[in-house]
Amino acid sequence: MSKEQPKILIVFGTRPEAIKVAPIILESKKRQIKIVTVSTGQHKEMLDQVLKIFNIDPDYDLGIMSKEQTLSDIASQVLIGIDNIIRKEKPTMIVVQGDTSSAFVAALAAFYNKVKIAHVEAGLRTYNKYSPFPEEMNRKLITSLADYHFAPTVNSKKALLKEGVNEDNIWITGNTVIDALRIISDKNLKFTDDKLRSVAFDSKDVILLTTHRRENLDTGMQNIFDAVNMITAQNPTVEVVFPVHLNPLIGEHANRVLSSNSAVHLLNPLSYSDLVGVLKRCKLVLTDSGGIQEEAPFFGKPVLVLRDTTERPEGVEAGTAKLIGLKTDDIVDNTNKLLQDHDLYRRMAKAVNPYGEGTASQKIIEKIKNGR
């Protein structure tokens, strides 16, 4: 009697999720596995850019994004939407990635319908439920629901074991973002944002800045922007590329503090291909993003993490990243040191990327297809 082929429901709602599930979707299609793709539309505009690059057209789009939506708005709409799709499609498994509200609530809907759950990028922890918020609790709650735990690193597996997850249900795969970067790097893509063409990548020390965390919106954001003004004043060779998040609070704050600084390029959110292009050509990265902590080391770019905690300690341990917190003086001092200390820069740039070799999606699909 032949084994029943799985039917996988793959859910994503934000750009980082789409980037990291895209290789899984492509690998599933390559192996002719039945898949149903669902976009919740938690971040509509930024999400569509990625789907176009990877040539993915979702089977369903919940289109939940609205102005000033709250976490409760997201949760209620995703729960009802995914529940309806599960009842219609009757999947054997649902795949969620990471730590977004879309991922957690989709897993909850699967649990309510007694559908198996696979969690990609499982086991990341800071052990502070409000940092990052709400992501830390989202991923812990997904862990309590999941049947398959695809951990990107040994540290992630250890965190899951510490919480009582059965070792037979955990697989170390590496991170699918490396798979995605390999796919994009093979494409000869040019900048699509005209403003990027005016950045002096060849003659300046270009810093990529990204900041968007909810917990940084007040004092933290002000400290970061003050630090950027000080860094550019003290280092005439520095230019800063800052793709400003769609959150209007961030945009208003950035324009107020940084718009008069000619060394800072305030841009709209970049397409994924443009972001990869900047990562390839910049000198270093200042970020509070989790995903960029994984992506920058692929290109040998040192990362200064604008947070007090990180759920990705592997980069810090490997030497590709450093936690520097949110105090203005600390940001300035650490950035200046990295710009001026060539030995330190070389050590961080040449550190081994701890997030795998770009085969995570193959490992994940193999386990799902074989039912272990």
**Average pLDDT for consecutive 10-residue bins of the chain (372 residues)?**
77 92 96 95 77 93 85 94 98 96 97 98 94 93 98 96 98 96 82 92 96 72 94 97 84 89 94 91 93 90 92 91 95 98 96 88 93 66
Q: Taking the CA atoms of 129, 73, 269 and 242 in sequence, report the sign of the dihedral they define.
A: negative
- What's the pLDDT at 331? 97
- Please tell me the predicted confidence (pLDDT) of residue 139: 96
Rounded distance between C-alpha atoms, residue 21 and residue 12, angstroms: 8
Cis peptide before 132 (omega within 30 of 0): yes
Taking the C-alpha atoms of residue 73 and residue 65, their distance in angstroms, rounded to an integer, is 9
For the annotated catalytic residues, the residue numbers are 99, 121, 135, 212, 214, 245
Task: Give pLDDT, residue 253.
Answer: 85
Domains of the chain: 7-175+356-370 (3.40.50.2000), 194-349 (3.40.50.2000)
What span, in angstroms and rounded, lies between the C-alpha atoms of 96 and 112? 15
Residue 227 to residue 184: CA distance in whole angstroms: 32
Measured distance between the N- and C-terminal CA atoms of the chain, rounded to whole angstroms: 18
Q: Contact, 103 vs 97, CB < 8 A? A: yes
What is each CA distance from 273 to 24, 39, 364, in whole angstroms? 19, 20, 25
